[in-house]
Every structure is written in C-alpha cells, then in structure tokens.
Structure 1
Amino acid sequence: MNFARPLTIAATAVLAVSISVSTANSQGLSAGAENSLRQRPMVMAAEQVLASVQRSGHPGYAGITLADKEVMLWWKGDVPADVTATVRQATRQAPVRVAKAVYSQAELTAAAEKLEAWRKANPGAGIHGVKNPGDGSGLVLAAYPGVATVAALPTAGVTVKVVHEQPMVSTSRKDDAPPWKGGAGTWNQTAGTICTSGFGVRNSANARFVLSAEHCGQSGHRIADRAGQFIGNVGAAHDDHDISLIPTSSTTNQMYVGNGDSNTVTTVTGWGHVFVGQFLCQSGVTSAEQTGGPVCNLKVIFFYQDAEDLVEAEQTDGQPAARGGDSGGSVYSYTSGGVVANGTVTRTAGARLGFQDFATANRDFGIYIP
C-alpha cells in the first residue's frame, strides 16, 4: 500500500464540511466554536476507524490524528483488509489518509511504562511527564526548565525527545439547581474549595452522578453549588486519573455555556473520543466570568502515557487555557444540535490545558451521557 496517498476522498465529505460551517454561522458561534463544529465530519470518520481498530485489535495501529482537512491513520506495517475497508467507508464522512508510523501503539505503551517506572524511581532527574504525540513517531519527556538533558535515560526502544517546560498545575455559574448540569460552580464544603461541574451522567444501573475532578473533592466530601445547595457527597474516585463521581438525585444532559452569571445552556448529545489535532472548548466558571464565555480553540497536542493518562491541549491564540476554579469543568466539542462531552479540566499552564478524557471516565466508572 502507498502510505503517502489518500485511499479515497468521497465527494460527500466536502458537502459535510460545508453543512457544518453553515450550521456554525447560523448558530452565531464564536470562531473557536466554529473550528470545533467544522471538524465534526472528521471526528465522526475518526471514531468509525477507531471502533474498527478496537474491535479487531491489530498490532500495527499507532494512532489517529486530525490534520487541517483530513484524518490521519498512523500504521506500522501492512494495513489489514478489514481496516482498509473501514477507511473507505469512513471517507463518506471526511477524507482519511493512511500514513506510515515508525512505532506501533503497543511498542510505545511498553516504552512509556519503562520510562514512567524510571521517572518515579529518579525524582531528582527533573522529568515530570511522558507524552505521546499520537503519530507513532516516538515519545516526548517533559522536563523542568533549566534541567540538563538527561543522559542516563533507560533504553526504551523508541525515539525519545526531551522538551523543557513548566508542569501544569491544578485549577481549583454560581447557583445551579436540580437537575444538576455541567459547567456549574461547585463548592466543597468540607475542604472549602471551589470548582466546576463536568457533566450529568448515569451508569448501567441508572444511578445519577455529577462527573468532576478528583482533586476538587475526595470520597465523602460534601459538595454543594456556589449558593450552598447540597448536590451530594463525593463517591467513587480515581486519584491518578483525577476524576470523581458525585452521586445525586437528579441530573440532566445540559451544560452552561454563557458568561459567569448566564443561564444559557446547551444539550450534551453524547460523549466521544478525542484525537490529536482536534479543537475543543472548556466551560469553567472562572474563565466564563473573566472572558464572558467558554474558552475555545483548544487544540489537542499530546496524550500522556504515564499513571495520570491525561490529554494535553493548547489554546492556539495564546490565551489562558483555564483559570483557578475551572477544575472539573466541561471539555467538549460542537455538533449539530448541541455538544459532545470529551472530558473534564484537571490543570493548566498558561495556554496549555491538561484534562481527563471522557473515554477514560467511561472505562473507569462505566458512565455515559443520558
């Protein structure tokens, strides 16, 4: 197979993009929100290809990224016939191109586990994260500024690049009411901290929860809205992944998207995976207070391959990606008729955002968007 050429470019893909742009304009969305909506056909195509790969479990898979106008499927070795067939089907949504990867995802995962074990055993080395750029080219180690390039790294078997940057730090709609929504201000009455709710969710037993960040409240902590109305006590939590569930009596598949005092809401139509190159928005309360609305143009740039398993995005206009009090807040993308849940805010460093993706919350807790 020629990895340098698109397999198929369907005419319907161009129409789908045109419809998305028209919809964005008719809804009066911001430029950042328009970027997210414009990508929806590519995201749908990427979801279709990812589902096929997950079903078959082929070892050559390396990653999926979103380019400006096409989906990139990165693969090591020959692409199996069933994946090729799915790629052809997915081009009905948007162009999909298969590109050659240096390493498979399995190889990168094994290397990341080795590097993460070394990092934990050598805290003085100044490495604070292990990242995957999503294209099968290797791994990236994040080091504190001023730390000399590490010469004693273990042999990982893959290309490893070291970048020097400050680690992201945790970021910790004022009067919501049942049914509880995403993007609302929350108050940990046990610890005295404020955050933002992520999404109203359910599990297979139809129990209802508010999804949030674990550092916003440990199990048993009493959580209320900013006006003091009780939501629930924190229940199940995953410390490494920084996500938690707040059991409550009533939730809804709506979330706030206006300014800090606005009652403007939109419908959360479901949840989706995230891909490198995807544009997202986040609706933390503090940012909404300071900017008048959500923070958009958050472009996914890395997946962390360490114990935290976070996703990193960057605000492409250089604006702050999140602020104190945004933690736990909704990370999402636009679709026709509403938004798609993609994750919850964990930490930030300037224009960079660290968040936990909804797919991980689904895997950890078995939750979904009702």
Structure 2
Amino acid sequence: MRSTRGTNAALAALLAAGTLLTAPSAQAAETGAATESRESAGDLSRAQRPLVEAAEKIRAAVDDGAHPGFAGIVLEDDHVTLWWKGRVPPALTAVVARVSRAVPVRVAAAAHSRAEIAAAAAKVRAWLHANPGTGIHGVKSAGDGSGLVLAARPGSTARSTGIAPLRAAAGVPVSVRQEEPMTEVSRQDDAPPWSGGTRTWNQTAGTLCTSGFGVRDSANRRYILTAEHCGQVGSRITDRTGELIGTTSRGHDDHDIGLVPASSGNTMYVGGGNSNTKVPVTGWGHVFVGQYLCQSGVSSAEATGGPVCNLKVIFFWQDREDLVEAEQTQGLTAARPGDSGGSVYSTASGGVVTNGTVTRTAGARIGFQDFATANRDFGVTIP
C-alpha cells in the first residue's frame, strides 16, 4: 500500500472541516459508531481538482500516441508524478512543460512500463491457476511501474512456503499483502428521468442495489449504468416502490457493469437515505492512483446521512475484473450491502464528475469499476 505523506494546506483545511447487494427484506441498519457522517471525513476531491485536471491532460496526450514507456500517473499531495520507463518523447515533454505552468509535474523513472506490468500479471495469474492452494486471491499494481502486489488471505502459507517460482515467472518485483478478500456489495422513490444514486430493486432476483449514473450511447439512447451483478440481462429493474425503470439489456460479467434502458438524466443524489438533494453530473474522468473519491450508495447514505468520501485510490487490480481499489483514509466503512452499482465520483466546479460504480468492499477498502471501462465496453458517456 502506498503511504500517506500528509496533506497540503488546502487538503488540511478540508480535513479540519466486493460486490455489495442485499435482499429487499434486509435493510442496512447501522447506529452509534455507524453514524460516520461525511462531515467527519470531509471531501478532499474538490481541493484535488487542479491535480486531476492536470493528470487528465497528460493522460490525453499519452492516449493520443503509441507510448510503450508509459508506466502510470500518480497524484501526490501537491504535484502530479508521471512515471515513465526510458526517455520521454519530445511531444510528451512539451505537454508536461505546459501543464507544469499551472500544476507541478514530476517525471520519474519507472522500472517497468504499464504494458510490461500487464504482461507480468498475466504470467502470475497463469502460475496461480496451475498452482492452487497458495491463499493468494488477487494481483494488483500501484500504477507506478514498480512491480506487482499479491493479495493473500491472512494466515495463508503464501509467505512461509515461498513463491520463488512465481517471482521468477513474473519477471518483475512481487510483494505479498495479507488481507481479507473484498466481497460483493437508494434513494427510495425516484421518478423519470432517473438519477444516479437511486435505490434499485431487481424483481427478477429479489435483490436491492443502487443505480450508478444516467448515460447515453452514440445513438443517444439513454440508460442507467449499474453493477452487472445487480441485474443480469433480462432482469426487471424497478425503484424501491416497484415503479419500472427498465429491463437490463447489456452486461459485462467480468467487469461487473450493466446497462438498463431508461429515461435517464445527468443528475445524482448526494444526501441521506430519504433526501431529495441532487447535483448535476458534468462529465466523466479517468482514475489515478492517489486520487480522492466519494461513493453515494443508498445503504451508506442511510447509515451516515450522506456520501462516503476520502476514498483514496491505491491499486489497480490486474485480473479479469480489472477493478480499481481505494481505501477510506479515516478507516471508516467504505461501502455497505446495497451500495452495489452506486456512484463513485469526484467533486468539481458546478457539480460532480463520474469515475465509476461500486462493486466490492472489505472494511475501509472498496473495489469499483472505473467509468473509462464502461466507455470502452459500451461506448457510453454522460448525457
């Protein structure tokens, strides 16, 4: 895990201020310590916005060309770090120089490129498949080209038995973290055009989740984006009162995202469980290690009175699910049963920027699918 090195003045000022589904009969009822208000955690994403916008500009330049040396972009407390293996191309150097006029950007030497990390992860997964029983349940990277991190069940034999053959197969540095696997995880009565953060009821399977964001495809057809495990293709999805939202028409099981055709808008709920407070969704953004995000699942809103914020991105999972992992920096519960499919976002001027949808959780840790993956899989964007 990447260490937290403190906060800059803006963030310090704010600090001063799995898949998750549940049956309709099992409401998430938490009291006392569970009343972890969003005010106690603050929302660091707004103060971090200049760093995110700088990172987006660099990422756009990387995506515009073939750049095999690219390893990753990491948001630090007061600057952006571009990790690169080898010599940075002149075109990228020029972009970094322009961005640096507004936000400090550091270029750091990476041991391995993003492509090399992905290839190493594929070798590790193949080795684990051929050698079961190690207790290892996940393969991650920290987005800086340093190597791979293996998630092992606490008390497993992953350390004591040695994994030298696996390290040799990987060809990159491999470390092991002992941690529990993340497990799969309203507002109550919304109406068309449907908003993100609405309680959804899968009447086909009899489970409750949370809607993600309203989206549209290239033909301007409207959908609600949510977790695929909340409603496989053909599932009848309603709000909590039984009003029909739509029937799931597309899904990507590995990435745990699905589309429900519906009259949807570009707003989402951010208040408590029964709140009518909405904000506009101004667009979507990529996700970077070090980025602070919030999630607005209904169960958490009922328990805390608002979104769960200060979810700091720490890893990208290198497996078929391709999830992003974040950790709540105050150690608060990151997500609860019934939050699945809900909105993961960052605060920006004029509203919020969508970054993904909730999939898994384990205590203060949360796993979500980033919106860039939904954009690639389905060709959707924000209305």
Per the TM superposition, whether the score is higher than 0.5 is: yes
TM-score, normalised to structure 2, is: 0.88
2: CA distance, partners of 1:268 / 1:45: 20
Structure 2 unaligned regions, length at least 5? 1-7, 18-37
Picking from 160, 167, 177, the partner of 2:174 is 160
Q: Which residue of structure 2 aligns with residue 199 of structure 1?
A: 213
Picking from 368, 374, 377, the partner of 1:355 is 368
Is 1:64 paired with 2:73? yes
Q: CA deviation at 1:123?
A: 3.4
1: CA distance, partners of 2:270 / 2:50: 23
Kindly tell me: are residues 172 and 251 of structure 1, through their superposed partners in 2, closer, same or farther at Cα, counting changes over 3 Å?
Answer: closer
Q: Deviations over 1:158-184 (max 9, x none)?
A: 001111110000119111100000001
Of the two structures, which has the highest relative contact order with CA contacts closer than 8 Å and spacing of 6 or more? 2
Pairing of 1:287-302 with structure 2 (within 5 A) = 287-302=300-315
Check whether the contact 2:186–2:197 (CA below 8 A) recurs between aligned residues. no
Q: Which residue of structure 1 aligns with residue 146 of structure 2?
A: 137
Amino acid at match of 1:359: A
Q: Deviations over 1:188-217 (max 9, x none)?
A: 001100000000000001111000001111
* Residue aligned with 2:51, SS: helix
Picking from 284, 291, 316, the partner of 2:297 is 284
Pairing of 1:256-275 with structure 2 (within 5 A) = 256-275=269-288
Check whether the contact 2:294–2:311 (CA below 8 A) recurs between aligned residues. yes
Picking from 216, 227, 251, the partner of 2:241 is 227
* Residue aligned with 2:169, SS: coil
Check whether the contact 1:172–1:193 (CA below 8 A) recurs between aligned residues. no
Picking from 107, 111, 114, the partner of 1:105 is 114
2: CA distance, partners of 1:275 / 1:30: 24
2: CA distance, partners of 1:363 / 1:117: 25
RMSD: 2.0
Q: Which residue of structure 1 aligns with residue 156 of structure 2?
A: 147
Which deviates the most, 86-95 or 186-195? 86-95
Q: CA deviation at 1:118?
A: 2.1
Q: CA deviation at 1:336?
A: 0.4
2: CA distance, partners of 1:363 / 1:201: 13
Kindly tell me: are residues 87 and 32 of structure 1, through their superposed partners in 2, closer, same or farther at Cα, counting changes over 3 Å?
Answer: farther
Amino acid at match of 2:300: S
TM-score, normalised to structure 1, is: 0.91
Percent identical among aligned pairs is 65
Picking from 85, 95, 98, the partner of 2:94 is 85
* Residue aligned with 2:361, SS: strand
2: CA distance, partners of 1:230 / 1:104: 47
Q: Which residue of structure 1 aligns with residue 254 of structure 2?
A: 240
Q: Deviations over 1:332-366 (max 9, x none)?
A: 00100000000000010000000000000000000
1: CA distance, partners of 2:127 / 2:228: 26
* Residue aligned with 1:36, SS: coil
2: CA distance, partners of 1:225 / 1:125: 43
Q: CA deviation at 1:120?
A: 2.9
Q: Which residue of structure 2 aligns with residue 210 of structure 1?
A: 224
